[in-house]
Amino acid sequence: MLNKLGQLRDLFISNLFGMTKSDCLLPIEIPNLEYLYLDSVPHEYASAMRSVAV
């Protein structure tokens, strides 16, 4: 659902479990994202986010 927030600029996620690779933010959907902070998230989600990070 975060990919539907196209104007999102900053996102801080901490201690949020249950997210998977399918929840990964897509740069084409969130072009204005300037800051993303992930802390204590599932490994699968963190790895997926790392793979799409620019």
DSSP per residue, 1-54: -GGG-TT--EEEEES--S--GGG---TTT-TT--EEEEES--HHHHHHHHHH--
Q: In the chain, how many domains are there?
A: 1
Give, in order, the Cα–Cα distances in Å from 18 to each of 6, 7, 15, 39, 44: 23, 24, 10, 14, 10
**Where is pLDDT greater, at 1 or 13?**
13
6-53, pLDDT tens digit by residue? 899 999 999 999 888 988 999 899 999 999 999 999 999 989 988 887
Q: What residue numbers bound the domain in which 16 lies?
A: 2-52
Residue 54 in this model has a pLDDT that exceeds 80: no
